[in-house]
Each structure stands twice: as C-alpha cells, then as structure tokens.
Amino acid sequence: MDSAMPNSALAPEDVLAIYALIEPWNDAVKQKDWDAVQGMCTDDMVFMPPEGLPVQGETVRSFLEALPPVKSMWWNIEDTHGQGDLAAVWGSVKETVVIDGADVLVDGKYCDVLRKGADGKWRFAVIIWNSNVPA
C-alpha cells in the first residue's frame, strides 16, 4: 500500500480496517488457503475475472482452486470511497503467477466492493480485476 489516506465519508478506522485486509488476502492467496479467502468475503461474494463470466455461489470454491499458483502479489489501493457499511476501492495490482511451469508477471487493475457486517468486519462483496496488457 503506497497511497495516502483517501477522502471518504468512511470513518478513518473503517478505512484502516479495509487497508488491513491487503496482507492477509495476499498471504491466503499465495498459500492457496481458500477457507481464509472465503472468510474475507461476504456469503454472496461475486468474483468478476478478466475474460470470464461472474463467479458466485457454489462455483466459487472450484474457481479458486483452479487459479494458477501465485508466487508474489502486491496491490495498491489508489482510492477508497464509501459510506456507512458499503465501500469501493480501486487500484493497481502486480503478481507473479506460475503458468505451465513458467513465472508470468501480471500487471493489472482492480475495483472491489466491500460491505461491513453486523460483526463490524469489512468483507469483499465484489472483486473485479483485469490486465493492463491486451490478451
């Protein structure tokens, strides 16, 4: 995370809680700990991958398990907006994934929607990402 705290109607502690999701998310993805990933998501989570249909419900787990291994992941929140229990973040992402035994650098962007649950925790509700490089 490199950016300064954004202007937002969210309370500063909510913005900090959202930023605090970055490292646990990265660690869980690199370890293929899909239980941890799903624990950071709402029950009605929707993944919107590049060049693919939205993934939700019973298909989320098999979608996650089919993702290529991630060796490294870095993402930057460039802007955060929200109010109450709803927030949107967007920014840049870089990761190294292993495809057919070779390291592949992915340079992309994302936009995520998060909801704050009754337990006070922020969780991802919609995750959208794509590459900056045409396929």
Token pair recorded at residue 75: 């993402």
> Quick one: pLDDT at residue 9?
87
User: Is the predicted pLDDT of residue 102 greater than 80, yes or no?
Assistant: yes
Give the mean model confidence (pLDDT) for residues 42-58: 95
3 falls within a domain: no
Sign of the alpha-carbon torsion through 14, 1, 81, 123: negative
Confidence band, pLDDT 50/70/90 cuts, at residue 16 = very high
Continuous segment of H or E residues that includes residue 34? helix 34-39
Q: For residue 1, what pLDDT is reported?
A: 44
Domain count, the chain: 1
Res 121 pLDDT > 70:
yes
Closest by alpha carbon to 112, among 39, 24, 40, 60? 40
The CATH number linked to 95 is 3.10.450.50
Q: Is the pLDDT of residue 3 over 50?
A: no
- Domain membership flag for residue 6: no
Banded pLDDT at 8 (limits 50, 70, 90): low
pLDDT attached to residue 2: 45
Q: Is residue 95 situated within a structural domain?
A: yes
Q: Contact, 28 vs 21, CB < 8 A?
A: no
Q: For residue 4, is it within any domain?
A: no
Whether 2 is covered by a domain: the verdict is: no
Q: Which of 62, 80, 106 is nearest to 22 (CA)?
A: 80
- What would the mean pLDDT of 58-78 be, rounded to a whole number? 95
**Has residue 28 been placed in a domain?**
yes
pLDDT at residue 6 is higher than 60? no
Cα–Cα dist 125/114, whole Å: 5
Query: Region 16-36: what's the mean pLDDT?
Result: 96
Residue 1 lies in a domain: no
Looking at the domain assignment, is residue 118 inside a domain?
Answer: yes
**What pLDDT is recorded for position 134?**
72
Supply φ then ψ for residue 57, to 5 degrees. 65, -135
